[in-house]
Chain A
Amino acid sequence: MSGTHPTREEDFDLYALGALDGDEKAAFEAHLASCASCKMKLAEATGRMAMLALAAPPASPSPGVKERLMRQVLATGRGPIETAAGVAPEKEGIFARWWGLLLPVAGAFALASVLLWLHNEQLNRQIAELRITVDQQQKQIAQAHEIAELMTARDTVVVSLAMQKNQPEGTARVLYNAQHGMLVYDGHLAPTPSGMSYQLWLVPMSGAPISAGVFNPAKGEMNSIMAKVPPGTAAKAFAVTLEPAGGMPAPTGPMILVGPVS
């Protein structure tokens, strides 16, 4: 192992930040190259410093970035296209000799033109399909941005929903802005039994619980719900209950998760 371990824990963060230079940086890197435990500490420090990115002022990419990315992927990045290109020369080698004997050159050009035309048609179809997908995703991004901005508002509250006794394991959080009547739920829950669904409820300070969404999580997947309730609704709590598939107008089943609004 080259050199000794850094004597101060902050050195890992300073290196991750890019602040070390000269001899300090060289000595750190020389030691790091052969020290697994220091590499692990650096990985943690790198993650810690990477989080500073989140302090940058909000900025959203234009929808065109995603469209250009997906076009780039379609144009250059698809495996099957590369594979097909790799196979093509061998076939050409076998048939080229026969074509030279059996077909006039003009016929070969005509065939090649047809093949190219067919290939072009296929690419056009793929581009059209992709454009539809991109349009849909742009709408989703616009909606997500709108909600993200709303959710960073000062009067938005975060509510942690706790697992209830003798119920399936799960965790969830709700961001709620009463003024705008907007909520976002994110949670992990076990898949529901057959014929059942989970249902998220906003329990208001007064009146009946308000349904904020019905969901059936797949194993290992996170569920998100974005819902709008009447603006100005003061919430006392949020809860998830187990209900017949598709949900109910009012809660009837056991409470799986509950979180009071403090």
Chain B
Amino acid sequence: MTGEMTVTESRASDAALVARIVQRDESALAALYDRYSGMLSPVLNRILRDSQAAEEILQDIFYQLWRSATQFDASRGSLPGWLLVIGRNRAISRLRRHNPASGEELLENTVVLPTNLESTIAQQQLVGKVKGALDSLPKEQRAAVELAYFEGLTHSEIAERTGDPLGTVKTRLRSAVETLKRNLKT
């Protein structure tokens, strides 16, 4: 018996696609866009709450990858990790009207993700795990983490925003990252 519809595909690794980008292969960039744009778009929209601005940054990140692919060293970190960090930094910069981040980010950041995110399934599984880890935090801790991550606020700025004592905010965030570290282990 045969299923009604089947789509199969073989996928090159991130490193192989980056190597093809260095050779000026546009289809490799398109493949990486397909692989990771769906992962980046939610966080850009969550930070900026402006789909047009989020799309501009999304395009900009992948265009930077096209221009700077020779600088990417897979041994120093994972591509999706870099994309997430660069995407968040740029969105926060825009949100807070800082100068846009420079094109040197690919060189400066080393990001080690504890899991391979090259497949859709892996991405979807991690989504569930991260949401579960955040759900496990007490409400105040979760709110503090979200203010730091999605709005780019420091300890002091969170205290100012919420009206809570600085020491309380620090304790909450410290406890939160301890719990997240434990719950996000693979």
**Hey, which bits of chain A sit against chain B, CB under 8 A?**
8-10, 13-14, 17-22, 24-25, 39-40, 42-44, 46-62, 64-66, 68-70, 72-74, 77-80, 130, 133, 137, 140-141, 143-145, 147-148, 151-152, 158, 173, 175, 181, 184, 186, 202, 207-215, 217-218, 220-230, 249-250
Contact = CB atoms under 8 A, between A and B. Distances in A.
B10 A218 contact: yes
Given A49-B149, A210-B1, A224 B120 contact: yes
A138 to B, nearest CB: 10
A46 B112 contact: yes
A59 B3 contact: no
A227 B5 contact: yes
25 contacts: A10-B181, A18-B152, A21-B155, A25-B154, A40-B112, A47-B77, A47-B81, A54-B126, A59-B42, A60-B38, A61-B38, A61-B55, A65-B37, A73-B63, A137-B34, A144-B120, A152-B127, A184-B121, A212-B3, A222-B13, A222-B119, A223-B9, A225-B8, A226-B8, A227-B4
Contact of A51 (B29, B87, B184): B184
Contacts of B41: 59-61
Interface residues of B, number: 87
A222 B11 contact: yes
Given A17-B145, A66-B30, A56 B5 contact: no
Contacts of B58: 61, 65
B178 A10 contact: yes
B143 interface: no
A208 B1 CA distance: 7
B27 to A, nearest CB: 7
A223 B155 contact: no
A65 B59 contact: yes
Interface in B155-186: 155-158, 173-174, 177-178, 180-181, 184
B8 A223 contact: yes
A205 to B, nearest CB: 14
Contacts of A51: 84, 113, 126, 130, 184
Interface of B: 1-13, 16, 24, 26-27, 29-30, 33-34, 37-46, 51, 54-55, 58-59, 62-63, 66-67, 76-78, 81, 84-85, 87-88, 92, 109-114, 118-128, 130-131, 134, 145, 148-150, 152-158, 173-174, 177-178, 180-181, 184
Contact of A145 (B38, B66, B123): B38
Contacts of B85: 46, 50
Nearest to A175: B121
A21 B154 contact: yes
Contact of B62 (A24, A69, A207): A69
B181 A19 contact: no
A223 B11 CA distance: 6
Contact of A19 (B11, B55, B148): B148
A46 B134 CA distance: 17
Counting chain A CB atoms within 10 Å of each CB, the highest count among B16, B24, B39, B67 belongs to B24
A73 B68 CA distance: 12
Contacts of B30: 66, 70, 133, 137
A3 to B, nearest CB: 19
A220 B118 CA distance: 13
A37 to B, nearest CB: 13
A145 B123 CA distance: 13
A66 B27 CA distance: 12
Given A50-B85, A53-B43, A224 B78 contact: no
B42 A56 contact: yes
A41 to B, nearest CB: 10
A56 B110 CA distance: 23
A207 B12 CA distance: 36
Contacts of A20: 154-155
B120 to A, nearest CB: 6
